[in-house]
Amino acid sequence: MSTTATLATLSDSDHMADPNWWRQAAVYQIYPRSFYDSNGDGLGDIKGITAKVPYLKALGIDAVWLSPFYPSALADGGYDVDDYRNVDPKLGTLADFDEMAAALHEAGIKLIADIVPNHSSNRHEWFKEALASPKGSAARDRYIFRDGLGENGELPPADWDSVFGGPAWERITEPDGTPGQWYMHIFAKEQPDFNWSNREVRDDFLKTLRFWSDRGVDGFRIDVAHALTKDLAEPLLSKAQLPREGENAMGAHPYWDRDEVHEIYAEWRQLFNEYNPPRTAVAEAWVHAERRARYASPEGLGQAFNFDLLQADFDATQFRSVITKNLAEAKASGASSTWVFSNHDVVRHATRYGLPQGGRKDGDGKDGDGKDRGQDGKDWLLAGGPKDELDAELGLRRARAASLLMFALPGSAYLYQGEELGLQEVAEIPDVDRQDPAFFRNAGVEVGRDGCRVPLPWSPEGSSFGFGDGEPHLPQPEWFANFAVEVQEGADDSTLEFYRKALELRGRLQAAEELLWHANASAEVLHFSRPGGWHSVTNFGTEPVELPEGTVVVSSGPLDGGKLPSDTTAWLLTDN
Ligand code: BGC
CA distance 399 to 355: 12
Q: What pLDDT is recorded for position 369? A: 44
Q: What pLDDT is recorded for position 371? A: 39
* Ligand 1 probe mutation, 189, 224, 286, 287, most atoms within 8 A of CB: 224
CA distance 232 to 228: 12
Q: Which residues pair with 220 in a beta bridge?
A: 113, 281
* φ, ψ of residue 481 in degrees (nearest 5): -55, -40
**Any alpha helices (H) in 300-434, and if so which ranges?**
308-311, 316-333, 349-352, 378-382, 392-408
pLDDT, mean of residues 564-571: 98
Regarding the beta carbon of 187 and ligand 1, being less than 6 Å apart is answered yes
Residue 103 has pLDDT above 70, yes or no: yes
Identity of residue 32: P
Enumerate the active-site residues. Answer: 223, 274
**Cα angle 406, 408, 411; round to 5:** 75
CA distance 75 to 89: 16
Regarding the beta carbon of 37 and ligand 1, being less than 6 Å apart is answered no
b or e along 553-575 (b: 16 or more beta carbons within 10 Å of the residue's beta carbon)?
bbbbbeeeeeebbbbbbbbbbee
CA atoms within a 13 Å half-sphere pointing along the CA-CB vector of 180: 18
The answer to whether 468 and 40 have CB atoms below 8 angstroms apart is: yes
Among residues 18, 20, 567, 565, which one has the least CA distance to residue 334? 20
Q: What pLDDT is recorded for position 367? A: 41
pLDDT above 70: percentage of residues in the chain: 93
Q: Which residues pair with 149 in a beta bridge?
A: 155
CA distance 287 to 561: 45
CA 79 to ligand 1 center in whole angstroms: 6
Q: What pLDDT is recorded for position 576? A: 65
Residues present in the chain in total: 576
Residue 98 has pLDDT above 70, yes or no: yes
CA distance 462 to 52: 18
The answer to whether 78 and 435 have CB atoms below 8 angstroms apart is: no
Look at residue 21 and give its three-state secondary structure. helix
Among residues 362, 383, 363, which one has the least CA distance to residue 372? 383
Q: What is the pLDDT of residues 464-513, one digit of tens each?
A: 999 999 999 999 999 999 999 999 999 999 999 999 999 999 998 878 99
Regarding the beta carbon of 164 and ligand 1, being less than 6 Å apart is answered no
Q: Which atom of ligand 1 is nearest to the CA of 344?
A: 9
Whose C-alpha lies nearest to ligand 1, atom 5?
Answer: 79
Q: Which atom of ligand 1 is nearest to the CA of 119?
A: 12
b or e along 294-328 (b: 16 or more beta carbons within 10 Å of the residue's beta carbon)?
bbbbeebbbbbbbbbbbebbbbbebbbebbeebbe
Whose C-alpha lies nearest to ligand 1, atom 1?
Answer: 223
pLDDT, mean of residues 207-223: 98
Q: Which residue has the higher pLDDT, 561 or 417?
A: 417
Q: How confident is the model at residue 439 (pLDDT cuts 50, 70, 90)?
A: very high
* φ, ψ of residue 560 in degrees (nearest 5): -110, 85
CA distance 11 to 270: 29
Q: What pLDDT is recorded for position 248? A: 56
Regarding the beta carbon of 224 and ligand 1, being less than 6 Å apart is answered yes
Question: In the chain, what are the domains?
Answer: 24-117+199-501 (3.20.20.80), 125-184 (3.90.400.10)
Q: What pLDDT is recorded for position 246? A: 61
Residue 374 has pLDDT above 90, yes or no: no
* Ligand 1 probe mutation, 115, 119, 185, 187, most atoms within 8 A of CB: 187
Q: What is the pLDDT of residues 219-262, one digit of tens each?
A: 999 999 999 999 999 999 999 988 876 665 567 889 999 999 99
Q: What pLDDT is recorded for position 249? A: 55
Q: How confident is the model at residue 457 (pLDDT cuts 50, 70, 90)?
A: very high
Whose C-alpha lies nearest to ligand 1, atom 9?
Answer: 345
CA distance 564 to 551: 13
* Ligand 1 probe mutation, 122, 223, 295, 440, most atoms within 8 A of CB: 223
**β-bridge pairing 412-416 and 338-340:** parallel
CA atoms within a 13 Å half-sphere pointing along the CA-CB vector of 198: 19
Q: Which atom of ligand 1 is nearest to the CA of 186?
A: 5
CA 345 to ligand 1 center in whole angstroms: 7
Q: Which residue has the higher pLDDT, 500 or 380?
A: 500
Among residues 254, 186, 190, which one has the least CA distance to residue 224? 186
